[in-house]
Amino acid sequence: MDVREAVEALDAFERRRYALASAQAVLEFSELTDPPAAQIGRGVAMAELEAADHDLLCGDEAQALLAALESHAAELDEDQAARFRVLSRDRADRLRIPATLEARRVELVNRSSALWKEAREADDWGVFAPVMEELVALYREIAEASAPEARPYDFWLDQFEPGSSEASFDALFGEVTPRVQEIAARVRTAISSGRWTPPRTLSGPFDPAAQYALFRDTAAFEGIDLDRLELGETIHPFTSSVDSHHVMIANHADPEDLLSGLLAAIHEGGHALYESSVEGRYDYTCLAHGTSTGIHEASSRFFENYVARNAAFAPALRELIASRFPESVREVSAHDLWRLVNEVHFSTSRMEADELTYPLHIVIRYEVERALMAGELGVGEVPARWAELYERLLGVRPTGDLEGALQDVHWSMGLIGYFPSYALGGVIGAQFIHAMREAGVPFEETLAAGDLAPVRRWMVEHVWHFGRAKDTKDILLDATGEALNPAYYVAYLEDKFNPSSALFEM
């Protein structure tokens, strides 16, 4: 076939994969929001969809199509060449995983979600442990079959952040963890010595229906097109998407804690902004969606921390809350609110963690996952190891499994290797802010004006619109002029959580 026929065949091929992926995205979004009995049929459907996509991507048709495109490589335009490159890589990655193991993985992940919910209700790791045993064994089997030359955990880390490994994250955490511990120790001393005045709190209760209305307001304020947004309810917030025209956010509403859901909404809004800002011409192709979990978390944590927890943004945040809960902020100034959303508390909860101690929560999960995948830790030993690490790094111990190893949904969703991306995203976000300022974006002035458009424009131009056409390292280098540099992140935390700063006013 000539180049025109090859590109037309590519378009048709990718639309079929898009249809399968769309069905999977909708089923995944309903996974944590539908009734438990629905898990059975959904598991069958998702396994069949996964098998169909595997057969399509790994079959003879795809091989012939890629061969035809390669023969016309010099005639492909930039987008077509990127599609060829990414599709070829995706196919190679999928061919590494035996189809039978992938089908088992999909079925097992679907079953584990229901058991995770049951375990949480019972506050009993033992309810979830048997399926977690299966997950760890299967993930080791997949890794060993797919990349026998690599350590099993390296294989899964690379699935979420291409090019990453235990060595790369050891280097990152080796630089960040001790510095965060030093800052946290100074803050703990300031708190214990009475140099920290507790901030004013928001008065509740907070009607859940009004909270969901606020979440939609917040999405619109961040710049999400509400005609593209589907908002749902779940235990653990998450974002999914079909294409740039359809993003899905599931969130929670705590009647006693407005900020928990609000900050989660802002975080998930960053994910949604990324997905909906990918070039529209990439829809229905392998270039749609974010390029990696590191860039995704850089986007979401950027809005949660560098925007929502910035002092300059506090007046706008207060106005958002006041629009739905005026009484809750009547006695709370913008300055009070800024101190409240930045309050440091050494807790057992990652989801409710403050910005400073958050990376320590991630290090704990990284260490547990690494030990599980290396066979150095048994699944039954996880709660004890979890508690030991929390006591060592944060000085607290969970009172039960619900506060401990059952608090996160990730393992039940099969996302072994995802957690380190949260810490990586925080580091990348600080580097983005530095680059924005260097480019002349008046960051604090923009936030103070309650206008996020200049920030969004920079992110669209330098990060989001590329979709998967650019890898993380290339985005980072082109956007900031250098490779990953944790110095900006550490300096940001050093400055913000200095006990002599306004956060620690008497």
* DSSP string of 57-118, one letter each residue: HHSHHHHHHHHHHHHTGGG--HHHHHHHHHHHHHHHHHHHS-HHHHHHHHHHHHHHHHHHHH
- Chain segment 404-439, per-residue pLDDT in tens: 999 999 999 999 999 999 999 999 999 999 999 999
Average pLDDT over residues 230-246: 90
Residue type, 123: D
Upper half-sphere CA count for residue 17 (Cβ side, 13 Å): 24
pLDDT higher than 60, residue 283: yes
Give the domain ranges of the chain: 3-153, 166-203+293-504
Tell me 415's DSSP state.
-
Max CA distance (Å), the chain: 76
What value does the mean pLDDT take over residues 19-40? 81
CATH architecture for the domain at 166-203+293-504: Orthogonal Bundle (1.10)
40 falls in which pLDDT band (50, 70, 90)? confident
Q: What percent of the chain has pLDDT over 70?
A: 99
- Which residues does 166 contact at the CB level (< 8 Å), separation at least 6? 151, 153, 154, 157, 370
Query: What is d(CA 293, CA 165) in angstroms, rounded to the nearest whole number?
Result: 14
Is 377 within 8 Å of 385 (Cβ atoms)? yes
- The neighbour count for residue 194, using CB atoms within 10 Å, is 8
Beta-carbon count within 10 A of 86 CB: 18
- Rounded CA gap, 109 and 326, in Å? 42
> Which pLDDT score, from 0 to 100, does residue 32 have?
61
| CA atoms of 211 and 65, how far apart (whole Å) | 49
Look up the pTM and report it.
0.93
**Residue corresponding to tokens 């920290």:** 196
Residue 486 has what DSSP assignment?
T
pLDDT digits (tens, 9 = 90+) for 338-369: 999 999 999 999 988 999 999 999 999 999 99
Degrees to nearest 5, angle at CA 357 with 219 and 472: 60
- The closest alpha carbon to 358, from 303, 419, 405, 299, belongs to 419
Cα distances (Å, whole numbers) of residue 427 to 10, 178, 273, 398: 37, 15, 19, 27
Residue 99's pLDDT band (cuts 50, 70, 90): confident
